[in-house]
């Protein structure tokens, strides 16, 4: 089993437990369920930087990134820096995140919020809406074509935008459908954690222009973004690069300044 298989196996147990504790009807009564969603797609289309800044404490590939920073300060800092949206890891076991992080981030800024999670059940999509997300992530590597269709349609019915993540041509070919908004290419091989921007370059021509193209992982320099922009990428998900500093908001601000000047 690779790391992704382990995460999914644990996630199934976690979701089963949550379903037994908090029924969907209770999630639907959340005050955040009625809020009007913010659009990450519009922000990316109208931005010169396209930065989606991530909040994550740790990851399986890097262990601890930053345990000291609270999500409220990070969200405020990212908003002041002028990022297009914020990605919040909500997986506890492997990334040290939680749904509380999402709620706090939502309360502290007006950025579109992406719930970064390993979604394997419709329950998690309703949960995302109830906890203040504007966008959900679907990972093609862990879902069938039928599941991608089912989950993305449910998200659209809740006015959530959908970012679908792919790693190779096979995943991309099975996944393209009208119920997606953004297609993200993960430059990290989830089986061995190697990172290469060539993955984004190679897949760019196969992504129809109806979708906003997002490049994820391994983007740690302004040069990397400038290298990817000619391939049609409008969004760039950056996590570790900002999170490993003492002030992610300030480092995002300096990064955007360097990128757009």
For 201-254, write each residue's pLDDT tens digit. 999 999 999 999 999 998 999 999 999 999 999 999 998 889 889 899 999 999
Give the per-residue pLDDT at 173: 96
**Is the separation of the CB atoms in 106 and 131 below 8 Å?**
yes
Query: Which tokens hold the place of 222?
Result: 């302004």
Provide the pLDDT confidence category of residue 65 given band limits of 50, 70 and 90.
low
Q: Active-site residue among 11, 43, 56, 240?
A: 56
CATH code of the domain in which 172 resides? 3.20.20.70
Total domains in the chain come to: 1
Given a cut of 70, is residue 64 above it in pLDDT?
no
Provide the pLDDT confidence category of residue 188 given band limits of 50, 70 and 90.
confident
The parent domain of residue 74 ranges over 3-260
Mean pLDDT over the full length of the chain: 94
- Catalytic residue at 56? yes
Residues 73-91 have a mean pLDDT of 97
- Catalytic residue at 152? no
What's this model's pTM, rounded to 2 decimal places? 0.96
Kindly tell me the burial class for residue 1, based on how many C-beta atoms sit within 10 Å of its own C-beta (0-12, 13-18, 19 or more). exposed
Give the per-residue pLDDT at 62: 67
- Catalytic residue at 216? yes
Q: Active-site residue among 66, 108, 152, 186?
A: 186
- Catalytic residue at 54? yes
Residues 69-78 have a mean pLDDT of 92
For 109-164, write each residue's pLDDT tens digit. 999 999 999 999 999 999 999 999 999 999 999 999 999 999 999 999 999 999 99
Q: Active-site residue among 79, 117, 171, 216?
A: 216
- Catalytic residue at 186? yes
Q: Active-site residue among 66, 217, 241, 251?
A: 217
Smallest CA-to-CA distance from 180 within 199, 206, 208, 205 is with: 208
Kindly tell me the burial class for residue 65, based on how many C-beta atoms sit within 10 Å of its own C-beta (0-12, 13-18, 19 or more). buried
């Amino acid at each position: 089993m690779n790391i992704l298989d382990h995460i999914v196996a644990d996630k199934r147990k976690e979701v089963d437990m949550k379903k037994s504790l908090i029924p969907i009807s209770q999630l639907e009564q959340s005050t955040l369920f009625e809020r009007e969603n913010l659009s990450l797609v519009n922000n990316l289309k109208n931005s010169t930087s396209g930065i989606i800044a991530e909040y994550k404490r740790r990851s399986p590939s890097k262990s601890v990134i930053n345990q000291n920073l609270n999500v409220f300060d990070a969200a405020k800092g990212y908003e002041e820096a002028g990022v297009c949206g914020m990605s919040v890891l909500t997986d506890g076991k492997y990334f040290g995140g939680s749904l509380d992080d999402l709620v706090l981030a939502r309360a502290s800024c007006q950025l579109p919020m992406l719930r970064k999670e390993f979604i394997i059940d419709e329950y998690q999509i309703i949960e995302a809406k109830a906890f203040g997300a504007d966008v959900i992530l679907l990972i093609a590597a862990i879902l069938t074509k039928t599941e991608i269709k089912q989950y993305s349609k449910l998200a659209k019915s809740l006015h959530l935008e959908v970012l679908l993540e792919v790693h190779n041509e096979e995943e991309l070919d099975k996944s393209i459908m009208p119920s997606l908004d953004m297609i993200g290419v993960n430059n990290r091989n989830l089986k061995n954690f190697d990172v290469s921007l060539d993955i984004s370059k190679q897949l760019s021509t196969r992504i129809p222009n109806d979708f906003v193209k997002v490049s994820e992982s391994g983007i740690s320099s302004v040069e990397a973004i400038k290298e990817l922009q000619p391939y049609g990428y409008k969004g760039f998900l950056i996590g570790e690069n900002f999170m490993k500093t003492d002030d992610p908001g300030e480092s995002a601000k300096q990064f955007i300044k360097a990128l757009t000047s």
